[in-house]
Amino acid sequence: MKEMILLTPGPTPLPLAVREALGRPILHHRTDEFGRIFRETLAGLAEVYRTKNTVLIMTGSGTCAMESAVANLLSPGDRTLVHSTGAFGERFAQILKAYGLPPIVIDEEWGHAADVERLRKALRSEKNLKAVFFQHTDTSTGIVNDLQKLAAVVREEAPSALIVVDAVSGLAAEELETDAWGLDVVLSASQKGLLCPPGLAYAAVSERAWKAVEAGRLPRFYLDWRTMRRSLEKSETPFTPAISIVVAQAEALRLIREEGLERVWKRTAELAEFTRKELVRMGLKLFAADPADILTAAWLPAGFDNTLLKKMREEDGICFAGGQEKLAGRVIRVAHMGAIRREDLEAGLKVLARRLGGVHA
């Protein structure tokens, strides 16, 4: 298989040490050796989450983590609010509807972060909310939300509501302080800032949220956090985990610890600044009004669509992401998170400039 320069928002490139960890002989998951690696992984995840809360590991994608939050925290008839800033806010709403719990939705214009005053107004008009759902970053639009301010408003206006955050793309790439910002449940996955292949989903769960888990009355089996929490006492998961990815995740977390989480945030921000300047220099118009550091979205010039991305992938070995849903064929998304390097971006953006042929947006 030809190796590509991967500039997509998940999966992201794998460091060599992580690749090597994936190639180790497989372990049995009910052994002391795996239990030691499992505990290392949990400890490393707690560090990047900046939390003392319980962290759970599930075998599945980021959407698995999102669905698990709905299944475990809520009961029939519970009222919820989703502050949506893109496709993944909409996904939260879809999951809630699938469980028979249609939420109140605040829809922001794509490319804009969650508006604190719109949230405040909605919270004042809605009573007895069980949970409020946010995105940390949204890769469909390339925005970042000010979770610290949003969480503070929830605490002021709806203090009993749980704060649930999709940090699938932002964890270990953008600043995130689970405990300091008072976030009850923060969800993530292995394949973005955490430097691993897809296959593992995570949830950091506060003690306040555990009370809701114990009281919840929605059906759950494979995604039952209560069973997962009990299994932590034996340093294992209730069902067979993605063993090799857990081993790789322990190694990836070691790399993050070695670099230092704040330095990872700083490096990602510097790559974001470089990418945006280069795209503007090409004449492209940036999409997000409130841009994240993990990814930059830019409008494609007239006459270009996803065919451009296909040609770069197949002929140049450069893999960018296209737009999602209503932005399909209209934007290009350039990731700069995880193990993506400046030289990768330079190579990819050079090909993009050549393919655009000097055409301005």
Provide the residue-wise pLDDT of the chain in tens; the chain has 361 residues. 678 999 999 999 999 999 999 999 999 999 999 999 999 999 999 999 999 999 999 999 999 999 999 999 999 999 999 999 999 999 999 999 999 999 999 999 999 999 999 999 999 999 899 999 999 999 999 999 999 999 999 999 999 999 999 999 999 999 999 999 999 999 999 999 999 999 999 999 999 999 999 999 999 999 999 999 999 999 999 999 999 999 999 999 999 999 999 999 999 999 999 999 999 999 999 999 999 999 999 999 999 999 999 999 999 999 999 999 999 999 999 999 999 999 999 999 999 999 999 554 3
Domain holding 296, by residue range, is: 5-11+260-356
Of 242, 257, 272, the domain-final residue: 257
Establish if 276 belongs to a structural domain.
yes
Q: What is the pTM of this model?
A: 0.97
206 and 342 together in one domain: no
Q: Are 114 and 134 in contact (CB under 8 A)?
A: yes
Establish if 128 belongs to a structural domain.
yes
319 and 232 together in one domain: no
The burial class, CB within 10 Å (0-12 / 13-18 / 19+), for 77 is exposed
Establish if 299 belongs to a structural domain.
yes
Of 257, 279, 314, the domain-final residue: 257
138 and 195 together in one domain: yes
Tokens of residue 355, six digits: 């393919």
Please state the domain count of the chain: 2
The residue type of 33 is E
79 and 173 together in one domain: yes
